[in-house]
Structure 1
Amino acid sequence: MSNSRSTKLHVAMFPWFAFGHITPYLHLSNNLAERGHRVSFLLPKGAQAKITPGAETASDVPFPLHGHLCIAFDQTQDQVQTILSSLKPDFIFFDFSLWMPALAHQIGSKAIYYSVITPVAQALKVPTKQKLEDMTLEDFMQLPPGYPSPSVRIKSKAFEIAQLKVVAEDLGTGMSIYVRITSSMIWSDAMAFRTYHEVEGPYCDYLRKHYAKPVLLTGPVLPETLATKLDEKWTNWLCNFKQGTVVYCAFGSQNKLQKDQFQELLLGFKLCRQPFLVALSTPDGCATIEEAFPEGFQESVKGRGWVYGGWVPQTLILEHPSIGCSVTHCGYGSMWESLFSDCQIVCVPYLGDQILGARLMVEELKVAVEVEREDNGWISKESLSKAIISVMDKDSEIAGLVKYNHAKLKEELTSEGMQERYLDTFIQNLQGLLD
């Protein structure tokens, strides 16, 4: 029996209160528990039901008010300390709670910074001497020579500034997201990322060297779908279309579009002339998703277009043979799910780490295309349609290139036992930190 399966660990999990953070921690927890390790998972009470909260996670709070959620998150410190002091786990996995390393060391535990976003985003430095308005996303790209630095060619200056503010400005807690994350990495005992070295190795190597501490890789740790079947309401509709013809789109739970941009995107899907399944949140100011449809839209796409405003089983949908294209916001989980699918990939990033994930797929891996924005950040129906057609047209050179690169990468990523080996090595490395 291997060392990773013989010495049992006790791991505590304390992710930031957002489903995009909670879910990856949960997937890793399940894998550790399956190997006989003990896992204690700390969540807000409301989030334990579905996991579904009241206003206790980031998807329930508008982004401008996330500072309040951040303050509430930090105010759980005393309760968290009481619980963890009783549990005394070997390791505490955390991301936004920069106070966790000191707490962990006080009770004799190791603090592991476990990131749910791409290492590319963690490897960037924010210049401190420039005013935000004078910066571009290129200013973030300060990796030393010898490391790939994805270029950021966004036409829209306004969009760039908006994304910089997300990470560089104070949310009302006395520090920016950038400072919070960087401090967490500095004070942790080790950093862990849900990636493969084959995909993001150079960035992981840079972080290991820059922070002079272990960088452990779990692999993507996506949930198994083999035992689960896609609900009939999806299969009955998807089976109406030929293999590889349906365009699927989802932008995650936190990306709420304005009504005018939402309508423009729907017109873009109509314009591309492919069947489409779009799963987006109801736009701001609308009670239902149907209320936000452009006039006459529903009738004009009847039979070939379905716009759904609720949660969808994305992994299972991407595996359906009728799906041929994934239009994604490049959230890290969605990025991996797209890479593990057979679909063509179109990127529509919204937040800073999503932009960098898109750069990774478009420029480094060359497995996707990105929708072009206008000067003010607007995405036109023509731009969206053009990107989709460019990867769905069988005679298109770019379609052939990204399809070939994607298939080659997928073959490598899905080689037998690869995820298992990564998890076994990850557990062995954790045990090594206790020696």
Structure 2
Amino acid sequence: MSSSQRSSNLALHVAMFPFLAGGHQIPFLQLSNKLAQRGHRVSFLLTNKTKLKFEPYNLYPNLITFIPLTVPHTDGLPLGTETMADVSRSMAPLFLKVIDKMSDQVDAVLRDLKPNIVFYDFFHWIPSLARPLGAIPIFYTILDPVAFAYLFLPVRELQLPKGENLDETLLLQPPPGFPDSSIYLHLHEARESLEFYKEFISGMTTVEFLRKCVKECDAWCFRTCREIDGAFSDCLETHYEKQIVLAGPVIDFPPASSTLEERWTNWLDGFKTGSVVYCAFGSECVLEKDKFQELLLGFEMTGLPFLVALKPPFGAETVEEALPEGFQERVEGRGVVYGGWVQQQLILRHPSVGCFISHCGSSSLWEALVNECQLVLLPQGTELFVSARRISTYLKAGVEIERREEDGWFNRESVFKAIKMVMDEDSKVGTEIRANKTKWKDFLSQESLDSSYIDNLVLKLQDLVD
């Protein structure tokens, strides 16, 4: 019997420990469903709060077991903090220190589970717990290869004269060896990205922290396919000298039994096909009030129906109290602003939705790429700037909202302009973007594509264990 034949018969037990944030946990759960679909057992480490939230999305409860962890309280964090959604972005370093204190708890769980493989992200100490148990540590990052390659290639620092620090001018352009010169940063984006090179936690910068995650793993896995990110994953494999495995797009189509909440179905059914603008920025993004209002006023200018699902902006308890004066009355019947969680995948699949304004989170972009809606991009921070460029300049499958170069400010007119560009049938640029978006939707929606990547990933994992 050949090695590949032996491997194909090996049932895996995989432990999953993503960073405690929705944007990290959801891709891990989607991959877990794919592995369980093929008969492999998954132990998923999470917190009590997210256990309840994610149970409906565990499609194989006989094979995927949620293992709840207790997040200890620490002064400086809100009482009951369990995920990044409970804290501000500035509290991330303190929250990470709290999770580091959970290493003994995680160690005890892994010793009890005895998995073959441990998938992790953002916890460079996981490999030291996994290896003594004979488990293979896999770094599964939600960052796109293009963002990791642009921002974190070691060659960036080699450009610097001895004793000099990196400044924003070097980040404006890609590093030497980067595969595509069309991807770049604006001045305000480069300035914000400099935060990666400042102390983040335990005396390490974010760059050093992530590089340590790479260094400690046995293999590195990305949620993408070679057809989109092959050149960038090859670049990373060369520079970091680590085996990289691509999991494919990991398209987690909602089960046939899933139904959109009746209130959203009834509202969306009232509009013609492809006419509704939908906007959502994930579970953690919070806008400044002036930007929140400017965005809404841009939607109002389009004259199109719109559904906005955003958290209340800074300084507001509810979205209602933050609305522009007279806004609710002016858009009554065609505009809804909601401050809670919505079933995004099902909303994007509704035939009335024609445009999606995204903050460029990884999961949101993949969900958008496999649906009919057009993409308007308003990246909200650091690595998401590069992810936006990947869609707008590399794939040419979406359009970015224009922003002021020095500080990133956008206005209602730029929101209006971007939406009209992708929605207007007479727009030459929009025609090209729509054609490219349709091409990638048709390609990525092939079940055979998703299956072939997952099957190949399983074989690679089995070879690592065998």
In structure 1, the partner of 2:100 is 74
CA contact (8 A) 1:278 1:308 kept: yes
Task: Pick closer, same or farther for the CA change 1:210–1:273 going to 2, 3 Å.
Answer: same
Specify the SS of the correspondent of 2:204.
coil
1:236-263 Cα deviation digits (max 9, x unpaired): 1111111111111111111100111111
1:218 is the counterpart of 2:247: yes
Matches within 5 A, 1:70-109: 70-109=96-135
CA distance in 2, matches of 1:327, 1:192: 28
Say if 2:189 and 2:382, in contact at 8 Å, map to a contact too: no
Which residue does 2:27 correspond to in 1?
24
2:430 is aligned with 1:399: yes
SS class of match (2:384):
helix
Partner of 2:277: 247
Task: Judge conservation of contact 1:70–1:173 (CA < 8 Å) in 2.
Answer: no
2:322 aligned residue: 292
Work out whether 1:138 is the aligned partner of 2:169: no
CA distance in 2, matches of 1:189, 1:143: 26
Contact 1:272–1:389 (Cα < 8 Å) also in 2: yes
Structure-2 residue corresponding to 1:203:
232
Counterpart amino acid of residue 6 in structure 1:
N
Distance 1:135 1:103, change over 3 A: farther
1:235 Cα deviation (Å)? Answer: 1.4
Query: Paired residue for 2:343, among 310, 313, 332?
Result: 313
Give the whole-Å Cα distance in 2 for the aligned partners of 1:12 and 1:218: 16
Distance 1:297 1:273, change over 3 A: same
- Confirm or deny: 8 A CA contact 2:183 2:390 kept in the other structure: no
Q: 1:101 Cα deviation (Å)?
A: 1.8
| 1:191 partner letter | W
Cα distance in 1 between the residues matched to 2:449 and 2:6: 18
Shift of the alpha carbon at 1:109? 1.3
Identify the residue that residue 238 of structure 1 maps to in structure 2. 268
Kept after mapping to 1: 8 A contact 2:8/2:462? no
Are 2:207 and 1:178 equivalent residues in the alignment?
yes
Question: Within 1, Cα distance between the matches of 2:181 and 2:464?
Answer: 31
Letter in 2 for 1:71: K
> Does the 8 Å CA contact 2:172/2:190 hold for their aligned counterparts?
no
Could you tell me which amino acid in structure 1 is paired with residue 364 of structure 2? Answer: S
In the aligned structure 1, how far is the partner of 2:358 from the partner of 2:370?
14
| Aligned residue in 2 for 1:414 | 445
- What is the CA–CA distance in structure 1 between the aligned matches of 2:394 and 2:266, rounded to whole Å? 37
Q: CA deviation at 1:427?
A: 0.2
**Bigger Cα displacement from structure 2, 115-124 vs 12-21:** 115-124
Aligned counterpart in structure 2 of residue 351 of structure 1, from 381, 394, 404 = 381
- Cα distance in 2 between the residues matched to 1:161 and 1:308: 32
5+ residue gaps, structure 2: 56-70, 72-79
Partner of 1:121: 147
Quick one: percent identity of the two aligned structures?
43
Q: Is residue 281 from structure 1 mapped to residue 311 from structure 2 by the alignment?
A: yes
2: CA distance between counterparts of 1:201 and 1:389?
Answer: 32
Q: Does 1:63 align with 2:63?
A: no
Contact 1:136–1:161 (CA under 8 A) maintained in structure 2: no
SS in structure 2 at match of 1:366: coil
CA deviation profile, 1:276-296 (whole Å, cap 9, x unmatched)? 111111111111110000000
Instruction: Give the deviation of 1:34 after TM superposition.
Output: 2.3
Q: 1:177 to 1:134 in 2, by over 3 A?
A: closer
Tell me how many residue pairs correspond in the alignment: 430
1:338 to 345, 361, 368: 368
Which letter maps to 2:106? V
Say if 1:73 and 1:393 are closer, same or farther in 2 by CA, change over 3 A.
same
- Per-residue deviation, residues 65-109 of structure 1 (Å, max 9, x unmatched): 111101011111122112212322111111111112222222221
Gaps of 5+ in 1: none
TM-fit CA distance, 1:212: 2.3
What is the TM-score with the length of structure 1 in the denominator?
Answer: 0.94
Task: Please give the secondary structure, in 2, of the residue aligned with 1:277.
Answer: strand
Please tell me the residue identity of whatever aligns with 2:175. Answer: Q
**Equivalent residue of 2:199, what SS?**
coil
Once the two structures are superposed, residues 169-221 of structure 1 have per-residue CA deviations (whole angstroms, 9 ceiling, x without a partner) of 22243212221111111221001111111111111112222222321111222
Instruction: Confirm or deny: 8 A CA contact 2:297 2:412 kept in the other structure.
Output: yes
Structure 1 residues 339-382: Cα deviation after superposition (integer angstroms, max 9, x where no partner): 10111111000122211111111111111110111132111011
* Structure 2 counterpart SS, 1:213: coil
Quick check: 2:192–2:382 contact (8 Å CA) kept in 1? Answer: no
Change (3 A) 1:194 1:367: same
Distance in 1 between the 2:423 and 2:235 partners?
Answer: 36
Question: Matched residues in 1 for 2:422 and 2:52: separation?
Answer: 40
Is contact 1:138–1:151 with CA below 8 Å preserved after alignment? no
Inter-partner Cα distance in structure 1 for 2:372 and 2:197: 36
Residue identity opposite 1:7 in structure 2:
L
Question: RMSD between aligned alpha carbons?
Answer: 2.0
Aligned to 2:11: 8
TM-score (normalised: structure 2): 0.88
Return the letter of the residue paired with 1:27. Q
C-alpha contact (below 8 Å) 1:247/1:327 kept by paired residues: yes
AA of the residue aligned to 2:435 = Y
User: Residues 36-80 of structure 1: CA distance to partner in whole angstroms, max 9, x if unpaired?
Assistant: 212111123343232499411111110111111010111111221
8 Å contact from structure 1 (residues 143, 149) kept in 2: no
- Stretches of 4+ aligned residues off by more than 6 angstroms: 1-4
Amino acid at match of 2:240: Y
* Residues 291-344 of structure 1: CA deviation (Å, up to 9, x unaligned): 000000000011111111111111111111111111111100011111101111
